[in-house]
Amino acid sequence: MTATRGAPSQTAPPSEVGSSPHPRTLGLVAGLGVAASTHYYREIVRACTARNVVPDIVLIHADVTHTLRLAAAGQSSELADYLAAIFHRLALAGAQIAAIPAITPHLCAAELAQRSPLPFINILDTLAHEARLRNIHRAAIFGTRAVMQSNLFGALPEVELIQSTPDETTLIHTTYLNLVNTASATPQQHAALTSLAQTLIARERLDAILLAGTELSLLFTPASTPFPHLDAARLHIDAILNAMLEPATRTK
């Protein structure tokens, strides 16, 4: 099964996928921000190494300031054009599938899938799929203000997404931008967002918090997330690995 444009490959979890001597070449749009790109790269290499597979990865650094400016202005067509141009460069470098390790740029996911020369592993589709599997019906989002106020761009129609208060939204957004800009996290940030997550779950009777910002991997790991959650970055990495490690005939 090959990945389709705009949707992740629906295969077994990576731990169940057999080793492939010829993984597909991944084109990764890096730099949106740096810590998330590093996290994806590290986790993908680690998983491939565990399978005795040498990953084949092409990275191009995108302009995070330009990307966030277009996203904040709701200029989805212009954003799709910008990212599609990067996808074309990745394809010329030999990439066979593409992914963006950030959620905010997925504002233009539908338009980007139409423009992309490569199958596009969409982080929003992976999140929606897991929400259905886990029967998540009521949740709140942690991410940038644009992501939180957009309700994940309509990607989760079966989930009631509860908005935090303006002050809570500002705390989440500001913390997230600090993570992007510094590529590091503090115990105080972890404590503040953990407390807020637990407050929201109790107050709003939530099934989970959607960690809808890849930079949140700096704060929250499976061992350090003491509340029900869906980790979009972890799910996305798993989907990328599935697409890379499926048996495939190279087309380069």
pLDDT digits (tens, 9 = 90+) for 43-101: 999 999 999 999 999 999 999 999 989 988 989 999 999 999 999 999 999 999 999 99
Q: What Cα–Cα distance (Å) separates residue 127 from each residue in 59, 187, 236?
A: 23, 27, 8
Mean pLDDT, residues 216-236: 94
Q: What Cα–Cα distance (Å) separates residue 55 from each residue in 10, 12, 46, 232?
A: 20, 19, 10, 22
Residue spans per domain, the chain: 14-124+235-245, 134-231
Please, which pLDDT band fits residue 34 given cuts at 50, 70 and 90? confident
Give bridge partners of residue 211 from the DSSP assignment.
Answer: 142, 231
CB 56 within 8 A of CB 28: no
Q: CATH number of the domain at 134-231, please?
A: 3.40.50.1860
How far apart are the C-alpha atoms of 170 and 96, rounded to whole Å?
39
Q: What is the pLDDT of residue 231?
A: 95
Mean pLDDT, residues 147-162: 90
CB 213 within 8 A of CB 144: yes
Strands (E), the chain: 26-30, 57-61, 97-99, 120-121, 138-142, 160-161, 208-211, 229-231
Q: Is the dihedral angle over the CA atoms 227, 196, 157, 17 positive or is it negative?
A: negative
Does the structure show a pLDDT above 70 at 176?
yes
Look at phi and psi of residue 57 and say left if phi exceeds 0, alpha if psi is from -120 to 50, else beta. Answer: beta
Range in 16-20, 25-29, 148-152, 212-216 the model is least confident about = 16-20
Q: Which fold has domain 14-124+235-245?
A: Rossmann fold (3.40.50)
Topology agreement, domain 14-124+235-245 and domain 134-231: yes
pTM: 0.83
Q: What is the pLDDT of residue 25?
A: 97
Mean pLDDT in the chain?
88
3-class SS of residue 221:
coil
